[in-house]
Amino acid sequence: MAMAVAPSRPFDYLESLPGTTFYKLYQQPSTALAIFRRMLPDLAKCFVMALLYLKDPLPATDLEAWVKAESLKERDNALSILGRLHILSNTVITDNVRAYKVTDPFASSLRQALTGAEKTQSFGVLWHISDGAAVSIAELDEYARRQWEGVLGYMVGTSGLGIQRDANLSKGVKQLLQAGHLVEIRDRRVEITQDGFAFVLQDVSTQVWHILMLYVESADAIGMSSVEVLSFVFLLSSLELGKAYDKKHLTSNQLRTLTDLADFGIVYQDSPDASHFYPTRLATTLTSDSSALSNPISGSLSGPSGTGSNKAGSGFIIVETNYRLYAYTSSPLQISLIALFTTLKYRFPNLITGKITRQSVRRAIEMGITADQIISYLATHAHPQMRKHNVSRSTSNQAGIPPSVLPPTVTDQIRLWQLERDRVKATPGFLFKDFVSLAEYEAPCRYAEEIGVLVWKSDRKRMFFVTRHEQVAAFLRSRK
C-alpha cells in the first residue's frame, strides 16, 4: 500500500498522452509540483529530488548502487513510472555510459516551484477584497457540499431507491455524467450504472479526480485544448482555501472551465462574470491523500449539516458484530447510499439505524455493487470510535496482522453473500454429441483436450463440451 499513491485514473490518462503534450504541460510550475506530489511513489520522489540540482547526468550504475539490493522491484517500478511520465530520461554521456537526467521543462519548472522565481502566474493571482465582502470558508464548504451532494444525489436518486431530488443541475453536468458512463438514459429515465455505483461509494478525493479526468477527456469534444484544461486543473490544486483569486489572467478556455467546475462545487464564483473566484476545499485538496481530505471535507459533506469541521476524524458509521449499523448522519445522500445495501429500521434526527442482511446485500449485488465496494465504503466512513477500539484491540493481537476497522465477521459474511451468487457459473460453448461409436468419440475428444478447449466430457454418454468449435470441426472434417 505504501507504493502506489496515485489513483489510477489520472495516471492512466497522463500516460496515454504523447510526449509533446508533456512538454507543454510541464511549462507550468504548478503542474510539475502537482504531478510530483500526487503521481509518484516515494522512491521516485527521492530520485527526482536528488537529481534535480545536479549539473551533469548521473550514471545509471550510481543510481542503481544507491538502492539496496532487496528493493529492486521498487526501484524498477519507480524508474518505469518516471519514464512513462517523461520526467526522467536516459542519456548517454562520455564513454558510452548510460546516465539519467531529469527532463528539462519538468526540471526547470520544479526548480522554479521550489525557489519561486518565475514570471508566469502559475500559482494564481490573489484578488484583494475588502473584509466585508469576502466569502468565508464555512460558506465555501457549504456551497461545495450542496453542489457535490446534488450531483451525487442526482445519480443515486435515479436508481429508484433513494429520495427523489430536484434535477436542477446544469445540462453540462448531466452530459458529462452520461459521457462517463456513470448514468444511462433508458426510456427517457435516467439510471445509474454499475460504474456509477462504484463511483458513489468511493471516497471524495477519488470522486473529484474521476470527474476532472472525465472533463479533461471530453474537453476536446467541446473544443478546448485538453492540455490547457489539465494545467488549469493543476493550478487550481495549488491555490489556498479561503482566498479569492483574480480572473483577469485566465484565458477564455480557462474561464469556461471555471464556470463548468462551479457547477460541481469545485470552485465558487458569485456570478459567471464576476472578476474573482474562490477555490473550495475540493480543489485545494486535490493533491493531498484522501486521509487528509477526510478530515474536514467529508465531515462537512457527510456529517450532520451545520456542524463545523470536527476535530476527531469524520467517519460516522458504526458497524457492530451482530450486523447492526448506526450512522450518525442526516444527509439524504448518505442515507440513500446506505439504503442501497442495508435494511433501514429507524430514522432519528441525527441517526439512522439498520441491519446488514442477506436480502439487502443480495439486492445491492444484483444492482451491480460489489462486496469490496461496500466494505471499502464502510471502512472509509467508519466512526473514530471504531478506529480507537480497533487500535486497542490490536495491542492484544500478537500475530502482527494489521486489523481492519470493521469486524471481520461482517466483512467475511458480505463476501460470502456475494459468493453465493456465483454458485452457478455459466460457460458459453458448444456441445458435441451423437457419436456412433466410442472410437469415433475418443479421437476428437482427445484432440480437444490437447488444444485446450475441452471443458467437460462424459465417456458414458459420448458427449463433450468445448469453448471453441472451429478447430474440432476442422479436425473431424479432415478425418472423414
Partner 1 sequence: MNAVDATEHYETSARDPAPALLTVVLDTNPHAWALLEDSLPLSKAIANILVFLNAHLACNYANEVAVVASHSQKAAWLYPHENPATKISHDADGDVSMNGSSTNNNTTEGPGQVNKYRPFRIVEEQVTHNLRELMASTSGPDVKANNSTMMAGALTLALSHINRRSIAWAEAHGADTAAETSGGGPPSGGHASGTDTTEGLQSRILIVSVSGASDSAHQYIPIMNSIFACQRLHIPIDVCKLSGDAVFLQQASDATKGIYMSLTEPRGLLQYLMMAFLPDQRSRRHLVLPTRVDVDFRAACFCHRRVVDIGFVCSICLSIFCEPLDNGTCLTCGTNLEIGDYGAKPAVVARKRKKKKRVNGPSGTATPTPTPTPGP
Give the footprint of partner 1 on residues 343-382 (CB under 8 A): 375-376, 379-380
- Based on the shown chain and the rule CB under 8 A, indicate whether residue 398 belongs to the binding site for partner 1: yes
- Shortest Cβ 191–partner 1 spacing (Å): 27
Contact at 8 Å (CB) between 448 and 464?
A: yes
Cell numbers 481530505 correspond to what residue? 293
- Based on the shown chain and the rule CB under 8 A, indicate whether residue 125 belongs to the binding site for partner 1: yes
Q: Which is nearer to partner 1, 118 or 191 (CB)?
A: 118
Q: Which is nearer to partner 1, 309 or 353 (CB)?
A: 309
Among 27, 178, 259, 295, binds partner 1 (CB under 8 A): 295
Among 252, 271, 392, 437, binds partner 1 (CB under 8 A): 392
Cell numbers 490518462 correspond to what residue? 13
Phi, psi for 347 (deg, rounded to 5): -130, 120
∠ CA 288-292-294, nearest 5°, is 120
- Based on the shown chain and the rule CB under 8 A, indicate whether residue 121 belongs to the binding site for partner 1: yes
- Shortest Cβ 364–partner 1 spacing (Å): 17
Q: Which is nearer to partner 1, 258 or 379 (CB)?
A: 379
Q: Which is nearer to partner 1, 396 or 437 (CB)?
A: 396
Please name which of 325, 319, 341, 343 lies closest in space to residue 417, comparing C-alpha atoms: 341
DSSP state of 223: T
Contact at 8 Å (CB) between 411 and 404?
A: yes
What is the full DSSP assignment across 305-363? Answer: TT----SS----EEE-TTSEEEE----HHHHHHHHTTSEEEEE-SS-EEEE--HHHHHH
Q: Partners of 59 in the beta sheet?
A: 99
- Based on the shown chain and the rule CB under 8 A, indicate whether residue 130 belongs to the binding site for partner 1: no
Q: Which is nearer to partner 1, 9 or 415 (CB)?
A: 415
Please name which of 342, 348, 333, 351 lies closest in space to residue 374, comparing C-alpha atoms: 342
- Shortest Cβ 454–partner 1 spacing (Å): 25
Q: Which is nearer to partner 1, 95 or 131 (CB)?
A: 131
DSSP state of 126: B
Q: Binding to partner 1 (CB under 8 A): which residues in 146-205?
A: 203
- Based on the shown chain and the rule CB under 8 A, indicate whether residue 242 belongs to the binding site for partner 1: no
Query: Binding pattern to partner 1, positions 429-458, x when CB under 8 A?
Result: ------------------------------
- Based on the shown chain and the rule CB under 8 A, indicate whether residue 1 belongs to the binding site for partner 1: yes
- Based on the shown chain and the rule CB under 8 A, indicate whether residue 108 belongs to the binding site for partner 1: no
Angstrom distance (rounded) from CA 304 to CA 61: 56
- Based on the shown chain and the rule CB under 8 A, indicate whether residue 43 belongs to the binding site for partner 1: yes
Q: Binding to partner 1 (CB under 8 A): which residues in 61-90?
A: 65-68, 70-71, 74-75
Q: Following CA atoms 110, 121, 141, 13 in sequence, which dihedral angle do they give, to the nearest 10 degrees?
A: -50
Q: Which is nearer to partner 1, 16 or 394 (CB)?
A: 394
Contact at 8 Å (CB) between 336 and 324?
A: no
Phi, psi for 326 (deg, rounded to 5): -130, 125
- Based on the shown chain and the rule CB under 8 A, indicate whether residue 291 belongs to the binding site for partner 1: yes
Q: Which is nearer to partner 1, 202 or 360 (CB)?
A: 202
Cell numbers 445519480 correspond to what residue? 155
Q: Which is nearer to partner 1, 226 or 380 (CB)?
A: 380
415-440 burial code (b ≥16 CB/10 A, e <16): bebbeeeeeeeeeebeebeebeeeee
- Shortest Cβ 372–partner 1 spacing (Å): 9
- Based on the shown chain and the rule CB under 8 A, indicate whether residue 53 belongs to the binding site for partner 1: yes
Q: Which is nearer to partner 1, 289 or 459 (CB)?
A: 289
- Based on the shown chain and the rule CB under 8 A, indicate whether residue 404 belongs to the binding site for partner 1: yes
Among 56, 76, 220, 412, binds partner 1 (CB under 8 A): 412
Angstrom distance (rounded) from CA 442 to CA 444: 6
- Based on the shown chain and the rule CB under 8 A, indicate whether residue 315 belongs to the binding site for partner 1: yes
Q: Which stretch binds partner 1 (CB under 8 A): 169-177, 331-339, 354-362, 386-394?
A: 386-394
